[in-house]
C-alpha cells in the first residue's frame, strides 16, 4: 500500500491510539505534530466524493499547457538540414556568425569575481545593493531629481521585476487594473494575471500601418480609473519595434499625472535602440512628471547575461517615508517568492559598473550589437520599399503583418523561421540575407 496523505479534516482527535509505525497518538484535542500529519491512517480514507484518497488525484485536475511555441521553432530550425536557412525566430541577440557570445566585459568581470569573492553567504531579499544602485545613473541619469524616492531591489531578470511589481500593486490596491497596449511581449499579460490583477487591453500599434494607434492609446488611458497601472515599453518595443514619439510620451506622461494613473515601465533593451542615454529618455520624462511609478529593468540583453537572470525593480514613491514602506513591502514579497535573487550575474554587472575600463569595454560591445541590429534593419528596408518602416523601428524585433499559414509557409518552403505572429528578430539575419527574405515574403503574399 502507498503512503496515503491524511485527508483534510482528519484531525488529531480522530487518530487511533498509536499507529503501525509506532508513533504515539495524541490525547484528544492535543496539538497535532508534524510527525502525525505524515502518519498514514489505518484504513484508506475516502474523500467527499467517495474516491479512494490513496490514489493521488490532485494533478489529475490540471490542464496540459501548450509548449512555448518559440522553443518548438528553435528545435525545428536546428533540425532543418537546408543550407541558407535563416533564423528570425530566436529571442536573443546574435552576432555576424550566428552566435550569442559572452561579452568580453562580462568575462573580465567574472575573472575578477572568481579571484576576489571570499564568501557565498546570504545577501538578503534586496540582493546586491551595489548592483541596483550602480545602474541608477544609467537608467535615471547622473543628476536625476528622484533622490530619496527610489526603492530598488535586485530581481531574477526583468521577468522577476515585472512579477514583483505586480505583487506590490496587488498588495497596495487589489482593485487596480493593468492597462496593456497590444500587441505586447506574450509574457506580460500572464505575469499580471498570475498576480491576480485584472488586465484591460487597448490597441498600441496597427501592424497594417506599422504605426502607433495613438487614438486607441488615448481612449485606453481615458477609460482607466485612478490607481490603475499602465504598462509601457521604455524603448525597443517587443514585438513591434514601434516606439512612441517624444510628443506622444509627453502627452502620455501628462495624462498619467492628470488621471492619477501609475506607469509601469518595462525597460528590457536599454542601449540596443539608439544608445544608453537615448533609450532612457522616455522613461526619465515619465518619471519627472508623475508622483509614483515602477520600472522593471533587465540586464539580460544589454549585458548578454540571459541565463544568469539579472534584473532590478525600481519603485518611485512620493516621498522618503513612502519609499521606505515600499522597500519593506518589496523585501517581504521577494522573501516569499524567491527569498533572494541569484547573485552571480548581478555581481558581474556591479563589477563592470564599478570600473571605468570595464564600463568602456561594455559600452563598446553594446555599440557593436546596436550597430549590427540597425545595419540589418537598413539592409532589409533597402531591399524593398514596402519594408522601409523597418529602418525606423528599434530593438531586436519587428512584427510583419502575416497570418500563421504564411509564417508556416516561410518555414516550410523557404527555410525562413519567424514566430507565427510574424515577429522577426533582426539580429537573426545577415545583411546579405535581405534579398532572400524579401523574395520569400513576396512569394507568400506577405508583401
Ligand atoms: C519586453 C520584455 N520585458 C521583459 C523581458 C524579460 O526579460 P528577462 O529575460 O530579463 O526576464 C523580456 C524578455 O524577452 C521582454 O522582451
Is position 39 within any domain? Answer: yes
Asked whether the beta carbons of 289 and 259 are under 8 A apart, the reply is no
CATH of the domain at 333: 3.40.640.10
Is position 114 within any domain? Answer: no
Task: Give the distance (Å) from ligand 1 centre to CA of residue 158.
Answer: 5
Give residue ranges with CB within 6 A of ligand 1: 91, 157-159, 185, 233, 238, 266, 268, 298, 300, 311
Residues 220 and 264 in one domain: yes
Residues 149 and 227 in one domain: yes
- Judge whether residue 45 has pLDDT over 70: no
Where does the pLDDT of residue 56 fall: very low under 50, low under 70, confident under 90, or very high at 90 and above?
low
- Picking from 389, 395, 398, 391, the residue whose alpha carbon sits closest to that of residue 418 is 398
For the segment 13-24, the average pLDDT, to the nearest whole number, is 46
Is position 113 within any domain? Answer: no
Which residues face 266 on adjacent strands? 233, 296
Is position 291 within any domain? Answer: yes
Is position 350 within any domain? Answer: yes
Where does the pLDDT of residue 5 fall: very low under 50, low under 70, confident under 90, or very high at 90 and above?
very low
Ligand 1, atom 4: nearest CA belongs to which residue? 158
Secondary structure class of 153 (helix, strand, coil): strand
CATH of the domain at 81: 3.90.1150.10
Residues 272 and 329 in one domain: yes
Is position 76 within any domain? Answer: yes
Active-site residue list: 185, 266, 268, 301
Task: Give the distance (Å) from ligand 1 centre to CA of residue 268.
Answer: 6
The tens digit of pLDDT for each residue in 176-209 reads 999 999 999 999 999 999 999 999 999 999 999 9
For the segment 396-413, the average pLDDT, to the nearest whole number, is 98
Total structural domains in the chain? Answer: 3
Which atom of ligand 1 lies nearest, measured to the CA of 160? 11
Residues 154 and 221 in one domain: yes
The per-residue pLDDT for 50 is 58
Q: For the residues of 284-337, what is the DSSP string, one character each? A: HHHHHH-S-EEEEEE-TTTT--GGG-EEEEEEE-SSHHHHHHHHHHHHHHHHHH
Residues 36 and 141 in one domain: no
Residues 160 and 270 in one domain: yes
Where does the pLDDT of residue 38 fall: very low under 50, low under 70, confident under 90, or very high at 90 and above?
very low
The per-residue pLDDT for 7 is 35
The tens digit of pLDDT for each residue in 249-268 reads 999 999 999 999 999 999 99
For the segment 98-113, the average pLDDT, to the nearest whole number, is 97
Residues 89 and 127 in one domain: no
- Judge whether residue 387 has pLDDT over 70: yes
Residues 195 and 325 in one domain: yes
pTM for the whole structure: 0.89
Is position 274 within any domain? Answer: yes
The per-residue pLDDT for 52 is 60
Q: Domain range for residue 330?
A: 123-354
Residues 389 and 339 in one domain: no
Residues 288 and 143 in one domain: yes
Mutate to test the pocket of ligand 1, among 234, 268, 341, 398 (most ligand atoms within 8 A of CB): 268
Residues 93 and 154 in one domain: no
Which atom of ligand 1 lies nearest, measured to the CA of 310? 10
Is position 109 within any domain? Answer: no
Whether a cis peptide bond, with omega within 30° of 0, leads into 183 is yes
- Say what percent of the chain tops pLDDT 90: 84
Residues 90 and 189 in one domain: no
Which atom of ligand 1 lies nearest, measured to the CA of 311? 10
Task: Give the distance (Å) from ligand 1 centre to CA of residue 437.
Answer: 26
The tens digit of pLDDT for each residue in 150-182 reads 999 999 999 999 999 999 999 999 999 999 999
Amino acid at each position: 500500500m502507498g503512503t496515503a496523505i491524511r485527508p483534510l479534516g482528519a484531525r488529531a482527535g480522530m487518530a487511533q491510539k498509536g499507529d503501525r509505525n509506532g508513533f504515539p497518538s495524541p490525547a484528544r484535542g492535543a496539538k497535532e505534530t508534524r510527525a502525525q500529519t505524515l502518519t498514514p491512517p489505518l484504513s484508506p480514507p475516502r474523500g467527499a466524493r467517495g474516491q479512494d484518497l490513496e490514489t493521488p488525484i490532485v494533478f489529475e485536475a490540471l490542464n496540459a499547457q501548450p509548449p512555448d511555441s518559440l522553443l518548438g521553432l528553435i528545435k525545428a530550425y536546428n533540425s532543418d538540414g537546408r543550407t541558407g536557412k535563416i533564423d528570425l525566430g530566436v529571442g536573443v541577440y546574435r552576432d555576424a556568425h550566428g552566435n550569442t557570445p559572452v561579452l568580453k566585459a562580462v568575462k573580465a568581470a567574472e575573472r575578477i569575481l572568481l579571484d576576489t569573492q571570499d564568501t557565498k553567504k546570504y545577501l538578503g531579499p534586496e540582493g546586491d545593493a551595489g548592483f541596483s544602485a550602480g545602474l541608477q545613473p544609467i537608467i535615471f541619469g547622473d543628476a536625476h531629481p528622484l533622490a530619496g524616492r527610489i526603492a530598488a531591489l535586485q530581481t531574477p531578470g526583468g521577468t522577476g521585476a515585472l512579477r514583483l511589481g505586480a505583487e506590490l500593486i496587488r498588495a497596495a490596491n487589489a482593485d487596480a487594473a493593468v492597462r496593456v497596449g497590444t500587441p505586447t511581449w506574450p509574457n506580460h499579460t500572464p505575469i499580471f494575471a498570475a498576480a491576480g490583477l485584472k488586465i484591460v487591453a487597448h490597441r498600441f500599434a496597427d501592424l497594417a500601418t506599422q504605426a502607433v494607434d495613438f487614438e486607441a492609446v488615448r481612449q485606453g488611458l481615458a477609460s482607466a480609473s485612478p490607481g490603475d497601472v499602465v504598462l509601457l515599453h521604455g524603448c525597443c518595443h517587443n514585438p513591434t519595434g514601434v516606439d512612441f514619439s517624444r510628443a506622444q510620451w509627453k502627452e502620455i506622461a501628462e495624462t498619467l499625472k492628470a488621471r492619477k494613473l501609475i506607469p509601469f515601465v518595462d525597460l528590457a533593451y536599454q542601449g540596443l535602440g539608439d544608445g544608453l542615454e537615448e533609450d532612457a529618455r522616455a522613461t526619465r520624462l515619465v518619471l519627472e512628471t508623475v508622483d509614483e511609478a515602477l520600472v522593471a529593468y533587465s540586464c539580460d540583453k544589454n549585458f548578454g547575461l540571459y541565463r544568469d537572470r539579472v534584473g532590478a525593480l525600481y519603485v518611485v514613491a512620493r516621498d522618503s517615508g513612502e519609499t521606505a514602506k515600499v522597500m519593506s513591502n518589496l523585501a517581504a514579497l521577494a522573501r516569499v517568492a524567491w527569498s533572494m535573487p541569484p547573485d552571480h550575474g548581478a555581481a558581474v554587472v556591479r563589477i563592470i559598473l564599478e570600473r571605468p575600463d570595464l564600463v568602456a569595454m561594455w559600452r563598446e560591445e553594446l555599440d557593436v550589437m546596436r550597430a549590427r541590429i540597425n545595419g540589418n534593419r537598413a539592409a532589409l528596408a533597402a531591399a524593398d520599399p514596402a519594408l522601409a518602416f523597418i529602418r525606423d523601428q528599434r530593438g531586436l524585433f519587428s512584427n510583419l503583418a502575416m497570418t500563421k499559414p504564411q509564417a508556416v509557409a516561410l518555414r516550410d518552403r523557404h527555410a525562413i523561421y519567424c514566430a507565427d505572429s510574424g515577429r522577426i528578430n533582426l539580429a537573426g539575419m545577415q545583411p546579405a540575407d535581405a534579398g532572400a527574405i524579401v523574395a520569400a515574403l513576396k512569394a507568400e503574399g506577405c508583401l
